[in-house]
Structure 1
Amino acid sequence: MQKELPLKTAPVQRDSLGRWILNCMAAVLLTVSAFFLWGAHSLVDSRFDNFDASVYEQQLLRVSGIFEQNRLSFELQVNDYARWDHTEAFVLNQQPAYIEENLFPTSLANIQVDGFIFTRLDGSLVTPPLLRVGAELTPMPDPMWEAISQQLPSLIKNDKSTAHTRFVWFEDEVIMVSGTHITDTAQANAPSGYLFFIRHLDEARLGALRELTGVNFRLAQTTSMDTVETQFTYKRHKSHPHWLTSMNLTGLPALIQVQGSTHLQAERQLTFTLLAFSVAGLSIVALFGIYWLIHLKVIRRLELFSKLADKNRQTRAQSIRWPVSGSDELDNLASSMNDFITEVEVRHKELNYLANHDPLTGIGNRRLLMASLDDKMELLKSNPKFTCNLLLLDIDQFKLFNDGLGHAAGDEILCLIAKRLSTKVKDSDTLVRLGGDAFAILQENVSLASTQDFATDLLQHLAVPFVYQEHQLNLRASIGFAQVKLKLSKEDVIRNADLAMYEAKRRGKNQVAIFTVNLLDTVSRRMHLEQALREALNQQSLEVWFQPIIDARYGKIVGMEALSRWSLEGEYIPADEFISIAEASGMVAQLGKQVLDKVGAVLQELRLQYPALECNVNLSVQQFRDPQLISDIVACRVKYQLPASALHLELTESMIAQSESEILPIMRALVNQGFKFHLDDFGTGYSSLERLKHLPFDTLKIDRSFITPLSLGDDVMVRNIINIGHELGMNLIAEGVENERELEHLLQLGCNQIQGYYFARPMPYHALKIWLKEHQD
């Protein structure tokens, strides 16, 4: 066969993709870096300026506050002197010695007053304006009086209860003048004049204020007396940038000025330096990175693609893919293979996906699980330390969703479950839908404890409520898991996980259970018991035992409870065990009919000697689902010629709480025919008192768990239950009474009917007849 030679094509002149990308990226990076540096510098500079402005604003506010305090204290002083009987008398020429006695230099120095002025209401002077100079009072110089007198009219207000203050600028210094009306101490009289105090804000006093505030401020004269915004001016010099800030004093022609340099100059310079070095460093690193990426992603890739192209021509490998986006070197190599293998791989993937995935949910199916188990078992052979666990998950009561909302809703819920499971599993895990509402997860390299935690978290994740067509729904699931072992087959592993899952359902559903060898024994025993029970029912070999119920006041039997007993190969099987098997396998209706028939026969015989004798028969939820229940009970009564009052039907509290809607109509139908109902195990279930009040029960049976504390003197619960029964007009029976102390407490509390070992244990019919003869005749 002639060997096919590869086609040769003329070389094509192509652009250098790597060099072009490198040049473009370098230009873009440098441009972006320059803009970033400019913007970052502006932003940081603004932040530092804002910090300085905030510091200086706080200083101005602090100084302004001190001046405001000084003004208020000065006005209080002038108010104190102006609202005084002696001051009023002085202005009215009734106390000439007032100044010598009250405003002498020492007293003025104590209150930091440098001078005063008394005027009458018309503005005429009572005395010449006086200043305190050392230890003497001297007349005020004319220039100063001229400056101050111009401000006095603005201090004379109609409001006689408040003093007012003005600043007077004299020879570049500030004089604080505060004045108010003069009246009597009680302020009952009309104003008689005005009093003005003068305080000179010289450098000594301003220095004290600077020391108090910690701010080196100065006062400057201004023509405006309105409150204005704080003014900031930042002046930059080459070596010493500084701030000049100012603020008007409210209502005063003075300006507070604070000047200083930036507070964080060193930090500012350091930040700018670091920013510049960072941008420069990042730019250099980025450029080298771009060069390295171009070399790695382009040059080396070209060499690799060339080798892969040669290999593909030789082996026709179907896993090679290269991107094609233009006419450069990479595209030339990629186009030589992609068209040839695309359709083959697509078809192969489609077939493989359909074979291994569930068409409804999109996750894996049983075939994928079996293949994954094969792979994991191969790993176990080569690596003994490798671990693998299989979880089986089944949705609790999924049939209710299908029946209540339709199969379309069921399909949507299955898709939702698959989606929620997918969010929890790892990439290395295998998630599949086995069919129906059963799912499986195969985990690798995890311990049993980790799988337990994962399963518990999975239940919580699934339990998050969701809304479907305006219905809020909740999902519950049962999970069982088992370990994959070399000595087990794939079917054995799945069976073990399945047994663990059913063990979780048996525990009450919405549980997690791990497979143990005991489950195999349990399943074997259960299968054996189920077959034996079916045979025993067919042969009617189950027994009915009876436990008397005694009226303790008279020691007389008032009734008895019928209890099923089953002996298999010389061993009595616990009633809870074989009854649960009967319920799960659908045999409980047959069991109930046989118990009713045997109870009816016993009552018919015993009532010949004990006409008032009654018997309690226990019913299960499954029996209430049997449409023949009412007819079976009525047929038993008719067959054995019994009154309806001779048969008492017992239900447990938990049955009522779980299935009230199913049970209640049948209860009412039976009550209408004369049958009575007893509520067994009262106080241990979930019934509310409101429900109890409206249910047709005749008798409450107090559970043994409440009787036991009576021996210790604890009668709180029993007393309350008895009170509830009496309030509702119901009969009461105490179960499980075993000693005299319990009996005495119950009698004292008003419960007279007793069932328990203290009087009699459950016994077969022949023993019951002997007991009745010994205790009742």
Structure 2
Amino acid sequence: MAIAQNQTITSSMGRWMLYAMAALLIFVGVCFLWISSHLINSRFDNFDAKFYEQQLMRVNGVFEQNNQAFESSLIDYAHWNDTEQFVLGNNPTYIEDNYTSEALDNIQVNGFIITHLDGSVVSAPLVTQAENLVPMPEILWAILQPVIPSLMSPTQTTVTSKIIWHNNVGIMISGVAITNTFKNTPSSGYLFFIRILNESFLNGLRELTLVPFKLIKSSSSPQSISSVVRQNNDGDNQWLAAKSLIGLAAKTQVQGGTHLQAERDLTFNLLLFSVLGLTLISLSGNYWIVHFKVLNRLRIFSRLADQYRQESHSTIRWPIKGHDELDNLAQSLNEFIAEVEVRHEDLHHLAHHDPLTGIGNRRLLQAKLDIYMHQHELTPHFSSTLLLLDLDGFKLLNDGLGHSAGDHILKLIAQRMTSQVRIDDTVVRLGGDEFAILLEGTDPDGAHLFAEHLLKHIAEPFEYEGHKLNLQASIGLAPLKYALSKEDVIRNADLAMYEAKRRGKNQAVVFKINFLDIVSRRMQLEQALREALNEQELDIWYQPIIDARNGGIIGLEALSRWKLCSEFIPPDEFISIAETSGMITKLGQQVFDKVGAALQELRIDYPELQCNVNLSLRQFRDSDLTQDIIDCIDKYHLPPSALHLELTESLIADSETEILPTMQRLVEHGFKFHLDDFGTGYSSLERLKNLPFDTLKIDRSFVVPLGQDDHVMVKNIINIGNELGMNLIAEGVETEIEVHKLLQLGCHQIQGYYFARPMPLDTLKAWLADNNLPQLSAQKSTQHD
């Protein structure tokens, strides 16, 4: 009876264990299946999304390259002497010679339009059809004509493009102003190229990219906006990806199913098969196999899955112990994870490196600074230094030789920088022509020696397409210190770099704490100057120019003065702020207005009185300077001879080509130019002969030696002026000896404290009345007697 009871208990226990193991296995299997399917689906979906994103990036990249080539061809045709001559009516065979159907097909242009500046067509718009040029269909002209005015700007030297949609077909039209090959003449018209984005054109891009994309209508966006969406249509998973074209009313679209559907199905089948196999083994009563071969393995897998969910950035691998179904699944998952990691590393590299030079970018610098700043917290005596480097004169080379030369120079500089650093140092390009180097374990003194050596290495000459070029740089250095943020370090290096430029460029400067005071004062002065210009609170003082032979007044020089809270701000300081902030144009307009009003009043008693006004390079660049000056003399009923315009020698040396056209237009209107600070810059006799200057102003630095009987430089300058037929004015004259020496050397027109200091308008009126000075015209007081 006892044996039977024991057998019953054993049998009952076995069934209980069988039922318990079956229930446990089913439960664990369901959990494992759910967790694994969730992870697999997520990873496969991420892979599909990245796959379609990469397809769109490839398509949009080809579009951008194609558009750049299209726009480059348009610029080549528009900035061409033959095109300009055709618009001006001097090249009647221009179209037959240059716009053949074969030539347009080669650059994928379907038609073109040439107009005058007022928008009227120079010749009938033409399109290519059946390998012939034919007049543009009226329906196409009706579509394009309303768009053309928005693409027209007489100062436009870059291409403007738009896409117009008609019957679901995109038509791209690009326009640019027509000028000569050297781009130094005013625009004479506009050239527009037309490209029809039909299926034939798109199929060519599809064959090139191997992507079956569509081009659909979209709103224009200045940025590329992309979206990848998974759709479930009757149980069939489909992906719809779209990416807009920058600045154009179109976007590319790719649609398709999951990219790894077979692998996805295989993975799920393997998972399901494994679970079912384990369940059958458990039901067969093979407890120890279930326990040792399955349950323990599942526990490990479950722990790894939990670990991955909690630490998504951790690297895990599914354990493989044999060749069963679970090992097969683990192998598949490991391969999938390895592929995802490789893709992630590729994306990480792209996100942290500059695509042009191959060195790091701003994001990499931020990450390295985070690491180094944390190391400083742990080890306060750890030394590191950040170098911020900006190329001097890079814009001139980039504009003069083209962007390809600029890219070549940037890559060359990156190579030279990389060749000088250690393996643990970090070299990055922050953008444009600005670079940074993070020197690990280097104090500012050692970093300064390195920077001086780097400057010499960068300054070594190099050749580009037959041009022998030199390049220099300015470097700011800032140490990484405890309690400083990475933003503080970058700001400090930036301030030191700008101090290096202020000191004359091509040097390295270590950050000092007083730089912060300079920046704070500059910010306060910039805001106050903006308010002062809005309220027209700046004053104009006048310094007389005297003929020393008879004491007669020849003219005045207008000088800006600014009083802020009882403090006179030095002109050099607030003029520099106005230059860099762009306020110099508004300041210049107010100077013209106040000088014009003063001359209108003063010329009642002194009809021949004239006034010299200083000009800035930004006025040539940022405003219609000619119109501003003409508006001033028209408003106050003054002749052009009443205003003389002064330019410094250093400005001419840096920007002669840029400002010469405006100077010539002003001379044609009757205005005269004075060359200020002559002898302190880099003027040559050839430049003086070619530029339309009427008068040379001798700088005070050459007048002072006259007191020590050193007159060599002044005598040479006077001889140069006489040889070129120019008037001469000596400025900064303060003593009777200097006046006497100048008269002996043949310079009679004097400006300086010896005769009068700069003074406000009311004081000037009283001074003129008290001194009862005769007025002499510039013509009567010539230097050539």
Which category of TM-score, normalised to the shorter sequence, fits these structures?
0.5 to 0.7
Instruction: State the match for 1:660 in structure 2.
Output: 656
Amino acid at match of 1:697: F
Picking from 433, 451, 476, the partner of 1:480 is: 476
Which structure 2 segments of 5+ residues have no match?
1-23, 26-303, 305-313, 317-333, 774-785
Closer/same/farther in 2, CA of residues 475 and 720 from structure 1, 3 Å limit? closer
Picking from 724, 729, 742, the partner of 1:728 is: 724
Q: Are 1:637 and 2:661 counterparts?
A: no
State the Cα distance separating 1:736 from its structure 2 match: 1.0
Pairs within 5 Å for 1:480-559: 480-559=476-555
State the Cα distance separating 1:350 from its structure 2 match: 4.1
Aligned mates of 2:671, 2:315 — CA distance in 1: 80
Closer/same/farther in 2, CA of residues 728 and 541 from structure 1, 3 Å limit? same
Amino acid at match of 2:747: C
State the Cα distance separating 1:774 from its structure 2 match: 0.7
Amino acid at match of 1:770: A
State the Cα distance separating 1:456 from its structure 2 match: 2.2
TM-score, normalised by the number of residues in structure 2: 0.53
Instruction: State the match for 2:457 in structure 1.
Output: 461
Instruction: State the match for 2:369 in structure 1.
Output: 373
Aligned mates of 1:600, 1:689 — CA distance in 2: 33
Picking from 580, 585, 592, the partner of 2:588 is: 592
Pairs within 5 Å for 1:132-531: 349-350=345-346, 352-400=348-396, 407=403, 410-531=406-527
Aligned mates of 2:444, 2:617 — CA distance in 1: 37
Deviations 1:294-343 (Å, cap 9, x if unpaired)?
A: xxxxxxxxxxxxxxxxxxxxx9x999xxxxxxxxxxxxxxxxxx999987
Aligned mates of 2:315, 2:709 — CA distance in 1: 85
Conserved 8 A contact 2:641-2:671: yes
Conserved 8 A contact 2:640-2:671: yes
Conserved 8 A contact 1:396-1:509: yes
SS in 2 for 1:661: helix
State the Cα distance separating 1:653 from its structure 2 match: 1.3
Instruction: State the match for 2:738 in structure 1.
Output: 742
Picking from 593, 599, 602, the partner of 1:603 is: 599
Single out whichever of 701-710 and 507-516 deviates more from structure 2.
Answer: 507-516
Aligned mates of 1:399, 1:679 — CA distance in 2: 26
Aligned mates of 1:359, 1:344 — CA distance in 2: 22
Aligned mates of 2:713, 2:376 — CA distance in 1: 59
Aligned mates of 1:356, 1:665 — CA distance in 2: 45
State the Cα distance separating 1:441 from its structure 2 match: 1.1
Identical aligned residues as a percent: 67
SS in 1 for 2:385: strand
Conserved 8 A contact 2:641-2:672: yes
Instruction: State the match for 2:690 in structure 1.
Output: 694
Conserved 8 A contact 2:588-2:619: yes
Conserved 8 A contact 2:354-2:361: yes
Closer/same/farther in 2, CA of residues 571 and 464 from structure 1, 3 Å limit? same
Aligned mates of 2:419, 2:667 — CA distance in 1: 54
Amino acid at match of 1:698: D
Amino acid at match of 2:665: A
SS in 1 for 2:754: coil
Closer/same/farther in 2, CA of residues 742 and 631 from structure 1, 3 Å limit? same
Amino acid at match of 1:484: L
Conserved 8 A contact 1:396-1:477: yes
Pairs within 5 Å for 1:675-714: 675-714=671-710
Closer/same/farther in 2, CA of residues 770 and 363 from structure 1, 3 Å limit? same
SS in 2 for 1:625: helix
Picking from 740, 744, 759, the partner of 2:755 is: 759
State the Cα distance separating 1:414 from its structure 2 match: 3.3
TM-score, normalised by the number of residues in structure 1: 0.54
SS in 2 for 1:759: coil
Aligned mates of 1:721, 1:751 — CA distance in 2: 10
Conserved 8 A contact 1:707-1:742: yes
Q: Are 1:561 and 2:557 counterparts?
A: yes
Which 4+ runs in 1 deviate beyond 6 A? 338-345
Closer/same/farther in 2, CA of residues 674 and 410 from structure 1, 3 Å limit? closer
Single out whichever of 470-479 and 680-689 deviates more from structure 2.
Answer: 470-479
State the Cα distance separating 1:567 from its structure 2 match: 0.8
The size of the alignment, in residue pairs, is 448
Deviations 1:495-529 (Å, cap 9, x if unpaired)?
A: 11122222223334333222111221111111111
Instruction: State the match for 1:227 in structure 2.
Output: none
State the Cα distance separating 1:405 from its structure 2 match: 5.5
Q: Are 1:621 and 2:617 counterparts?
A: yes
Instruction: State the match for 1:190 in structure 2.
Output: none
Conserved 8 A contact 2:426-2:437: yes
Aligned mates of 2:361, 2:661 — CA distance in 1: 45
SS in 1 for 2:730: strand
Deviations 1:724-769 (Å, cap 9, x if unpaired)?
A: 2222222111111111111111111221111111111000001101
Single out whichever of 623-632 and 531-540 deviates more from structure 2.
Answer: 623-632
State the Cα distance separating 1:624 from its structure 2 match: 1.9
Deviations 1:346-385 (Å, cap 9, x if unpaired)?
A: 5675455345433443322333323322332333234333
SS in 2 for 1:718: helix
Q: Are 1:647 and 2:647 counterparts?
A: no
RMSD of equivalent CA atoms: 2.9
Aligned mates of 2:545, 2:356 — CA distance in 1: 60
Picking from 546, 569, 573, the partner of 1:577 is: 573
Aligned mates of 1:483, 1:645 — CA distance in 2: 57
Amino acid at match of 1:506: R
State the Cα distance separating 1:474 from its structure 2 match: 3.9
State the Cα distance separating 1:482 from its structure 2 match: 0.3
Closer/same/farther in 2, CA of residues 427 and 701 from structure 1, 3 Å limit? same
Aligned mates of 1:538, 1:627 — CA distance in 2: 18
Deviations 1:440-475 (Å, cap 9, x if unpaired)?
A: 211122231221121122222223344445555444
Aligned mates of 1:406, 1:708 — CA distance in 2: 45
Conserved 8 A contact 2:613-2:646: yes
Which structure 1 segments of 5+ residues have no match?
3-314, 320-337
Amino acid at match of 2:563: S
SS in 1 for 2:389: strand
Aligned mates of 2:732, 2:401 — CA distance in 1: 46
Closer/same/farther in 2, CA of residues 618 and 403 from structure 1, 3 Å limit? closer
SS in 1 for 2:733: coil
Single out whichever of 502-511 and 665-674 deviates more from structure 2.
Answer: 502-511
State the Cα distance separating 1:562 from its structure 2 match: 0.5
Conserved 8 A contact 2:443-2:479: no
Pairs within 5 Å for 1:64-143: none
Closer/same/farther in 2, CA of residues 424 and 771 from structure 1, 3 Å limit? same
Amino acid at match of 1:747: L
State the Cα distance separating 1:546 from its structure 2 match: 0.3
Amino acid at match of 1:443: L
SS in 2 for 1:717: helix
Amino acid at match of 2:385: N
